[in-house]
Amino acid sequence: MTHTATHVKAHEHELIALRRHLHTQPEPSGEEFLTTELIRDRLLVEGLAPVVLRSGTGVVCDIPMGLEGGPIVALRADIDGLAMDDLTDTPYRSQRPGFAHACGHDVHITSVLGAALALLDARENQPRAGTVRLIFEPAEEVVPGGAVDIIDEGWLDAVWSIYGVHCDPKIDVGRLGLRTGPLTSAADQFEIRLEGPGGHTARPQVTVDLVRWTARVAARLWDVMAEQAGQPVTVVFGSVHAGAAANVIPSSARLTGSFRTPDPATWEHGEKLMRAALDEIMAAPGIGDAPAWTLGYRRGLPPVVNDAATTDLVRSAAEHLWGAEAAISTPQSMGGDSFAWYTERIPGTYVRLGTHDPDSSEARQDLHSATFNVDERAIAIGAALLAESALRALDHHS
């Protein structure tokens, strides 16, 4: 076992206990006050000087590595939970109805904290020039993400490179998914409102049959946009609301969702494409007069783009820790992540952290599943990888 892995192993029981505590207390985006307090207090115990962001949630903390001068490299974790129920049967399932750590942010937090503890141990054994900056980012699950606040407060200004991990339940624990270039996709959010005069369900022909039009928009928007774009896109609705009574044709409907594409050029024209697609859908015959419509469109995130040099550094760290088979190739996903705002500005690498137990008979889950859980061996693996990558980055830039 390497020195870095040994340092992490010494803290593994604490990290697992900490992750389980976080799992019981997920907090929504922008309201991570207890999570922020826990992170700050744990860093204070180590004699560090954590800073809470101006928003009141999220933490940044520097670890000077013992010698004057040198570069700053950053490790990032996102800290918010999701607005959904936790349907697992573990003793550490969420104790807050309607909220869950179903994206693994509790694992990300403990991986970065574990890396911090390992780095402090490494500093005692071998001081070096440079600083490792820990970034605990709030509000990642909402657009545009807490990374914007991190950047606006200047915490990225002097950083040479940045590293992070994200749980991937499709990959076995002990494996790390790496990809040079685009790793995620661009992601925007939208709201479509439809309006008509309303009426009686006995006479849909004399009014605007708004629910049928709502269904048409929900069923056709993705296909029409894909045809117009000529590039891979996804359009998925997260909420559809129309009406409240069985015998009343409603006068308004609201559809919200996300538009995603791996192609940056298509992302630049996402709103224009959606407006053209809605025009086409509303012009189609078959169900009577079309409703009036409005589109609210919010630009979200660009793709996370992994830098070639930092990805090679992470691959080298993984092979040093666990051998040549630890790092595997991973495809570009349609998911979005605010880590993209960092890699737009400085070199960085985002790693897919395998969390599936290969000996489990259960099917591989997906992120945001109500029964999402992880093989907790992944915590020490994430921590060791981040610590080793940070040390190598400091040595490389010095």
Instruction: Tell me how far apart the alpha carbons of residues 273 and 16 are, in angstroms, rounded to a whole number.
Output: 46
**What structural domains does the chain harbor?**
3-184+303-397 (3.40.630.10), 186-301 (3.30.70.360)
Neighbouring residues of 304: CB distance < 8 A, sequence distance ≥ 6: 182, 183, 184, 337, 339, 340, 343, 350
Q: pLDDT in tens for each of the 398 residues of the chain? A: 678 888 899 999 999 999 999 999 999 999 999 999 999 999 999 999 999 999 999 999 999 999 999 999 999 999 999 999 999 999 999 999 999 999 999 999 999 999 999 999 999 999 999 999 999 999 999 989 999 999 999 999 999 999 999 999 999 999 999 999 999 999 999 999 999 999 999 999 999 999 999 999 999 999 999 999 999 999 999 999 999 999 999 999 999 999 999 988 899 999 999 999 999 999 988 888 999 999 999 999 999 999 999 999 999 999 999 999 999 999 999 999 999 999 999 999 999 999 999 988 788 888 999 999 999 999 999 999 999 999 999 998 87
Instruction: Tell me how far apart the alpha carbons of residues 384 and 76 are, in angstroms, rounded to a whole number.
Output: 14
Instruction: Tell me how far apart the alpha carbons of residues 344 and 341 are, in angstroms, rounded to a whole number.
Output: 5
CA angle at 298 for the pair 297 and 300, rounded to the nearest 5°: 140
Neighbouring residues of 82: CB distance < 8 A, sequence distance ≥ 6: 26, 99, 100, 101, 102, 103, 141, 368
Dihedrals φ, ψ of 274, to 5°? -65, -40
CB count within 10 Å of CB 357 equals 18
Indicate the pTM of the whole model. Answer: 0.90
